[in-house]
Structure 1
Amino acid sequence: MKYSVKEILHLEVSPALGCTEPVAQPATAAAASVIPAEHPEKIEVWVDPNIYKNGLAVIIPGTGGLNGLDTAATLGALYGDPKLGLEVLEPLDEVSTQKACKFKETNPVKVNLLEDRHGIYVRALLTFKSGNVEAIIEGVHDNIVSLTLNGRPVEGSSLVRTKQAQKADMTKLENYIKSLSLTDLVDMIGDLDADDFAFLSEGITYNMRLAEYGLRHGPGLSVGATLEKLARMKILSRDMILAARIITSAASDARMGGIKLPAMSSGGSGNHGLTAILPIHAVSEYVDCSEKIMLESIALSHLVTAYVKAQTGRLSAVCGCSVAAGAGATAGITYLMGGTPSQMAGAITNLTEDLAGIICDGAKCGCALKLATAAGTAVQAALFAIHGVNVHATDGIIGSSPEQTMQNIGTLSTQGMIDTDRTILKIMLEKHFASTDN
């Protein structure tokens, strides 16, 4: 099955409110929607290791600084709207957050780690006076594959797709993307229409809104605002690399800091979306290009990001913002500067050699530092490639083609770093339980 550029963009790119792991709570929201007249008496959730890792410390949007999958599960069950997908927690306000916290004080809410589970998986079991409701998410963050009441399927729910249908769709999409070359991805850009350009422009609007908030208010670690201050003090020189780092990290500061503004995600991740879009937007201010070329560059960035994510999986031990969205961004920046597919290949190779070792140690405010690095390196890798600086295929994990290099990243992620991922989570859990015991 072939997919058009429009279909790929709309499958891979969508708005997401907050980090996508704690907001993978359409599961509890969907379960609660089956018995809307009652609040549950008990909430229990089972999640895969990467959902657990990314949901452990990151701030939940609109909660005034709260974190934790137990809190996210409670908020989803009591006040989430499962029809909103990755914006499931949009209805939250201060009052509902306070009520959810009181609920947790008097009702059991338990999160279980499924250590041997691979791939995105969330199972929620809500116990009501009138029965038990179970919802399961699998494959992608908002894909509800099962919804049952007392063990029987809930008939006619528009929230549910069959596991088989979704698995077939995702497998077909990923297999199709994997079959393409970088040149194929570049050629697809010629099929963009007016609606696609409007959708791509909307992504800039979403993500720049986060960046502007981050620069004004300095939430999270204030990485973007600090870089901006250093530029104003002339301690750092303002150029396209610094501009990319500033707005990308500022947007991550806001998003990871729990600000209630959605990001336009890419490959199932809001931070991927920030990295795929914002460095290109920043560089466009420094080069002579039309808005159409800029939007085409962003489209290419999303396509390359999707290609790498098809190799690595949605979640892994490798920082996807660096190696997946970073690869997308550097390809898009090279395109923006008038580079050839060969130069785009060189840029991807340069970035991969530079950033392939960055681990994913969960979602948290510190992600803004990684996004600053990825954004700046994406620009640098593109500039190097355009000026003839290219890493050799004999170096490390670099392949003889950009496709092979990206496939090698997938192999590293899915085979070579399984124990790394377990070790990262072990360290995080030891810290977490040590802090809760004190």
Structure 2
Amino acid sequence: MGLYREVIKHEVFPALGCTEPIAVAYAASLAAAQLDGELERVTVSADAGVFKNGFAVTVPETGGVKGNVIAAALGALIARPELKMEILSGTRPELLQQAKLLVSGGQASVSLAEAQRGFYIDVTVEKGGRVARAVLAGGHTNLVRLERDGTVLLSSEQEQGGEDSHQYRAALKEMTLAQLVDLLEDVDQEDLAYLKRGVEMNLRVAEAGKALTKVGYYVEELVRKGFLLSDVVSSSKILTASASDARMAGLSYPVMSSGGSGNQGIVAILVPYNVGLFFRIPEETILKSIALSHLVNAYIKCHTGDLAPICGCAIAAGVGAAVAIVYQQAGKDLAKMNLAVNTIISDIGGMLCDGAKGGCALKVVSSTDASIRAAYMALSGHGITEEEGFVGRSAEETIRNLSRITDHGMALADQTMLHIMLEKQGGSST
């Protein structure tokens, strides 16, 4: 399997709901499927990013309930791991009622694994006096350990997780922007069909989100009242915000993710799609540009980590969308692509991630706006250069600089935000 397909296989997949609580549900289902009998207890330990992203987001199929803990209980009760990131499509009313009772009775809990770095979910399930455990690390569906009654059923060298737990990521991390563009030569008709499926899936969720009186609605109202122009930038912002609104509100529509994130999938896919459609770019070119958007998103996540203190929609998916727009109109013009990357990272590179919730749609809007602006500045030969701030001499150098800022300069950001969030909840887990 070529590198392009490795990235797509692991980073671009349908997900029903915010991917972190869904991954918690998936891990719980993996453990629960190893045992028979009535569920007695489910206990979860998760890294800061998973903990934070599942803190205040509405979980699909729950009637508006928020948090990782309901996802854990439901996943353990559904116990159908073959559904993977669409695990909650197996919810039934009686299972939801059971899950709520488990939560209210203290039989389902989620705690912060403070020592863990990188994506990590460790779930223990008890049924009929027996115990099973499942550990995901390094990715939302990357099972690294499975146990039943202390017997190891599966164990991987990747058990400690971290950003380099997939071999393809090590190769991807060392690539250049030029080499990412060259990977598009591997895209065939089957790949194009999968990319188109992602467009259609995310358009459906955007249409559902337009019925909500949330961020997308208010952006559209600004256009109606004349505060914003009715143009491709506004229509793109309405589209992406509406899709994010639907997803964060827990509507039961799957989205095609990117970099393991649904909101990033919304930006990475719908921005180049809508811009390409507006400028009548051939469909195959639009789809290949979306493939490039996914690759750039995944490349940046290799440097910054899956769940960084800074917003992935801004510093990964938005960058991918900007490069995709340049590709649509200028092909493999690396000078323009470098300008686009440097400009958008200089613009919104410091946007904080304080977990998944309704307000993410605002960040999606900002990312959409910035990506289109950066792309068209670059297409005109203008953008931010190494003379300014932390911007490097190339896209790759700027991304490495951003990684240094994330890893070292913002090392305490997640911890501080988590403390604030826990204080608001009286120190309780979620």
Please report the TM-score for the alignment, with normalisation by the length of structure 1: 0.93
What is the rounded CA distance, in whole Å, between the counterparts of 2:3 and 2:275 in structure 1? 27
Report the 3-state secondary structure (helix = DSSP H, G, I; strand = E; otherwise coil) of the residue aligned with 2:141. coil
What is the one-letter code of the residue matched to 2:372? V
Q: How does 1:271-350 map to 2 (within 5 A)?
A: 271-338=263-330, 340-350=333-343
Distance 2:280 2:109 in 1: 55
Q: 2:428, 2:139 → 1: CA distance? A: 31
- Map of 1:315-394 to 2, 5 A cutoff? 315-338=307-330, 340-394=333-387
Q: CA deviation at 1:435?
A: 9.2
Alignment map for 1:33-432 (pairs within 5 Å): 33-36=33-36, 38-106=37-105, 108-154=107-153, 162-164=156-158, 170-215=165-210, 217-218=211-212, 222-338=214-330, 340-432=333-425
- AA aligned to 1:135 is A
One-letter amino acid of the counterpart of residue 117, structure 2: H
Hey, what's the Cα distance between the residues in 1 that align with 2:238 and 2:30? 38
Whole-angstrom CA distance in 1 between matches of 2:78 and 2:159: 29
For 1:416 and 1:257, the matched residues in 2 are separated by: 33
Partner Cα separation in structure 1 for residue 235 and residue 133 of structure 2: 47
Q: Secondary structure at the match of 1:146?
A: strand
Q: Name the counterpart of 1:157.
A: none
Amino acid at match of 2:304: T
Q: 1:141 to 1:226 in 2, by over 3 A?
A: same
C-alpha distance after superposition, 1:368-404 (max 9, x if no partner) = 0000100111000001111122112021110111111
Amino acid corresponding to residue 33 of structure 1 in structure 2: A
1:421 aligned partner, one-letter code? D
8 Å contact kept, 1:303–1:328: yes
Task: After superposing the two structures, state which structure 1 stretch, 103-112 or 73-82, moved more.
Answer: 103-112
Residues 326-345 of structure 1: per-residue CA shift (max 9 Å, x gap): 11000001111225221111
Equivalent-residue separation in structure 2 for 1:322 and 1:164 (angstroms): 29
Count residues in correspondence.
Answer: 426
Normalization by structure 2: what TM-score?
0.94
Whether contact under 8 Å (2:310, 2:350) holds in the other structure is yes
Moved more, 39-48 or 321-330: 39-48
CA RMSD of aligned residues (A): 2.0
Give the partner amino acid of 2:56. A
Aligned AA (1:258)? G
SS at match of 2:413: helix
SS in 1 for 2:313: helix
CA distance in 2, matches of 1:164, 1:105: 35
Give the SS at the match of 2:62: coil
CA 164–317 in structure 1, closer or farther in 2 if over 3 Å, else same: closer
CA distance in 1, matches of 2:313, 2:347: 13
Unaligned residue ranges in structure 2 (runs of 5+): none
Post-superposition shift, 1:200? 0.5
Calculate percent identity across the aligned residue pairs.
38
Paired with 2:263 and 2:420, the residues of 1 have a C-alpha distance of 23
Cα distance, 1:107 vs structure 2 = 5.3
Unaligned runs of 5+ in 1: 155-159
Q: Match of 1:27, as an amino acid? A: A
Give, as a single letter, the amino acid of the residue that structure 2 aligns with 1:113: L
Distance 1:365 1:80 in 2: 28
Distance in 2 between residues matched to 1:4 and 1:375, nearest whole Å: 27
Q: Distance in 2 between matches of 1:434 and 1:196?
A: 46
| 1:339-369 per-position Cα deviation (integer Å, ceiling 9, x unaligned) | 5221111111110000111000000010000
Query: 1:99: Cα distance to partner?
Result: 2.6
CA contact (8 A) 2:339 2:385 kept: no
- Alpha-carbon distance, 1:205 to partner: 0.9
Alpha-carbon distance in structure 1 between the residues aligned to 2:267 and 2:39: 39
Task: Provide the C-alpha distance between the structure 1 equivalents of 2:322 and 2:92, rounded to a whole number of angstroms.
Answer: 38
Shift of 1:94: 3.7
Q: Provide the rounded CA distance (Å) in 2 between the counterparts of 1:214 and 1:189.
A: 32
Matched residue of 1:111: which SS? strand
